[in-house]
Amino acid sequence: MTLLLTEPTETQQDEQLDSRERRRGLRVRQTRPVKVFEPTGARFFGGQTEDISATGLRLELPAYIPIREGQTMSIHVGLSLAGQSLANRRQMLPVRVVWVSRDENRPEVIETGVEFMASIAAQRDAA
């Protein structure tokens, strides 16, 4: 039996640093405004993307938003921070909350990972 040791790639290092992140494929760090509709309280909240991929988003949202893993909500991603108006609810995409993380050093915000519901349906159809 031979043991091969290699330097971890950048992607592997990212995965080791953030074990909760399970997305595969290309992730792009990008900050864009988001509008989130949380159906339990029937309220809209603002936030921003931290990174994006074909299957989901990592978001930064206000800590007071009542969200939990497994919850579904609707989201719209704006084009820029320069004041582009955000969409109404009919133009929003359904997402499922995959994880929620709170940082003691930044109690005013939470980070959350969401998966596009359309990608979930596409994966089921492909199986």
| Phi then psi dihedrals of residue 29, to 5 deg | -75, 120
Is 111 a member of any domain? yes
Is 2 a member of any domain? no
Domain count across the chain: 1
Question: Which residues touch 107 (CB under 8 Å, ≥6 apart)?
Answer: 63
Question: What confidence tens digit (pLDDT) does each residue in 17-61 have?
Answer: 454 555 566 788 988 899 999 888 899 999 999 999 989 999 999
The residue assigned the tokens 């909350």 is: 97
Q: What percent of the chain has pLDDT over 90?
A: 43
Specify the DSSP element, H or E, that contains 105.
none
Is 12 a member of any domain? no
Q: Domain with 50 in it: what CATH number? A: 2.40.10.220
Tell me the three state secondary structure of residue 11: helix
Tell me the residue range of the domain where 108 lies. Answer: 29-126
pLDDT band at 78 (very low <50, low <70, confident <90, very high): confident
Q: Is the pLDDT at 11 greater than 50, yes or no? A: no
Is 9 a member of any domain? no
The C-alpha angle 64, 69, 72, rounded to 5 degrees, equals 85
Is 17 a member of any domain? no
pLDDT band at 86 (very low <50, low <70, confident <90, very high): low
Tell me the three state secondary structure of residue 118: helix
Is 43 a member of any domain? yes
DSSP of 37-72, one letter per residue?
EETTTTEEEEEEEEEEESSEEEEEEETTS---TT-E
Q: Is the pLDDT at 5 greater than 60, yes or no? A: no
Is 104 a member of any domain? yes
Is 121 a member of any domain? yes
